[in-house]
Amino acid sequence: MVLVTGGAGYIGGTTARYLIEQGEQVVILDSLVSSKEEDVPKNAIFYKGDIADTELVTNIVKKHNIEACLHFAAFIEVAESVENPYKYFENNTSKSLILINTLKNNGVSKIVFSSTAAVYGEPKYTPIDENHPLNPVNPYGMSKFFIENILSSYDASSNVRFVALRYFNACGAWGGSGEKHNPETHLIPLILQVPLGKREKIYINGTDYNTPDGTCIRDYIHVYDLANAHYLALKYLRAGGKSEKINLGTGKGFSIKEVIEVCEKVAEKEINKEIRGRRAGDPAVLIASNKKAKEILGWNITYNNLYDIVQSAYLFHSNIFKS
């Protein structure tokens, strides 16, 4: 069976649903620190608990004969990590180290880890490939960078093999899972809150970047495609694949203004917006090279179209705000 940490959250929950659809048996461990029990996918076995609870993790591994772990559980807010680095290094780094060690001690040797494009920091070139220098510029990115390195050390010293997946901007909804972060800081759900009557306007942070329309460009990858990549990474490790660090993005970028335009088309409404100054630490362009994911995992992207991505999110949020 497969252990999914953080499986009540957005990406972990979607991946757990996807795995179950593929016939996998899934055990979820989530403390519900940033999610709710109602968000745990049905047909998964659920444990409410912390990834650093060594006794609980040991019992789960033994009882369910856990063969692999997909480790999503983490805190994810960049700005909060700058204000409160301890919270991020404790939860994302220290607790992940304890989890990885417990898994290893109990014979779980395959780990798929949720890493992030934030490990690269300010891009030196774009699209960013996996050979790009790693220079995280905030504690969130640093907390993940440490775990990538810790996993490499376990790879060198034991039979633990891992795939660290560096997601770019996760978005969209699938199978009843969508973004429900509290507070929400991600662009597409924030924009969609405006036509759905939950927010007065969307702020555009800076229109003087070195991009065609002056706003920042990002690579938006649908959560379904992330879920599929996790399944491929699991199969890759089962087939004896060596440890790898792999980007997950579409390889295409959209500016903030372009994303707002697509949201307006999907919602069939003009969206109230206000331009303000740049936010500290926002690179102008972040686009992934996804060549390695395609070559090593055989990954193909289903959601290539921003309209379809936004539409899936809009349907999800319309339903949430109705209920």
- In angstroms, the CA 158 to CA 164 distance is 17
Active site residue: 140, 154, 167, 224, which one?
Answer: 140
Region of 72-80, 190-198, 270-278, 283-291 interacting with ligand NAD (CB under 6 A): 72-80
Interacting residue with ligand NAD among 46, 120, 146, 167 (CB under 6 A): 167
Instruction: Out of 2, 4, 12, 287, point to the residue binding ligand NAD (CB under 6 A).
Output: 12
User: Contacting ligand NAD (CB under 6 A), which of 31, 81, 93, 138?
Assistant: 31
Report d(CA 28, CA 15) in Å as an integer.
11
Q: Which residues are CB-neighbours of 9 under 8 A, at least 6 positions away?
A: 30, 34, 35, 39, 72, 73
Q: Tell whether residue 137 is a contact of ligand NAD (CB under 6 A).
A: no
- Decide if residue 169 touches ligand NAD (CB under 6 A): yes
What is the DSSP secondary-structure string of 267-297?
HTS---EEEEPPPTT--SEE-B--HHIIIII
The CA-based diameter of the chain, rounded to the nearest angstrom, is 56
How many residues of this chain interact with ligand NAD, rule: CB under 6 A? Answer: 27
Q: Is 224 a catalytic residue?
A: no
Shortest Å distance, C-beta 298 to ligand NAD: 22
Identify which of residues 194 and 248 has a Cβ nearer to ligand NAD in the complex. Answer: 248
What is the closest distance, in whole angstroms, from the C-beta atom of residue 41 to ligand NAD in the complex? 12
Backbone angles phi, psi at 265, to 5 degrees: -65, -45
Taking CB under 6 A as the rule, does residue 114 contact ligand NAD? yes
Does 81 contact ligand NAD by CB under 6 A? Answer: no
Task: Determine, following the binding rule CB under 6 A, whether residue 202 of this chain makes contact with ligand NAD.
Answer: no
**30 sits near ligand NAD (criterion: CB under 6 A):** yes
d(CA 28, CA 40): 8
Query: Per rule CB under 6 A, is residue 10 in the interface with ligand NAD?
Result: yes
Q: Return the C-alpha torsion angle 137, 142, 145, 146, nearest 10.
A: 150
Strands (E), the chain: 2-5, 26-30, 45-48, 68-71, 110-116, 161-167, 169-171, 202-205, 217-218, 220-222, 244-248, 254-255, 273-276, 285-286
* Complex with ligand NAD: residue 74 or 287, whichever CB lies closer: 74
CB 37 to ligand NAD: min, Å? 10
Which residue has tokens 């301890």? Answer: 86
Written as six digits, the tokens of 2 are: 């497969």
Is residue 50 part of the contact set for ligand NAD (CB under 6 A)? yes
Q: Could you identify the residue written with the tokens 């968000």?
A: 39
Q: Is 44 in the site for ligand NAD (CB under 6 A)?
A: no
The nearer residue to ligand NAD, 9 or 127, going by C-beta atoms, is 9
Distance between CA atoms of 201 and 191, rounded to whole angstroms? 8
Residue 312 is a binding residue for ligand NAD (CB under 6 A): no
Query: Quick check: 72 binds ligand NAD (CB under 6 A)?
Result: yes
CB of 194 to ligand NAD, least distance (A): 20
Count CB atoms within 10 A of the CB of residue 274: 9
Tell me the C-alpha distance between 143 and 301, whole Å: 28
| Residues designated as active site | 140
Residues near ligand NAD, by CB under 6 A: 5-6, 8-12, 30-35, 50-51, 72-74, 76, 91, 95, 114, 116, 167, 169-170, 181
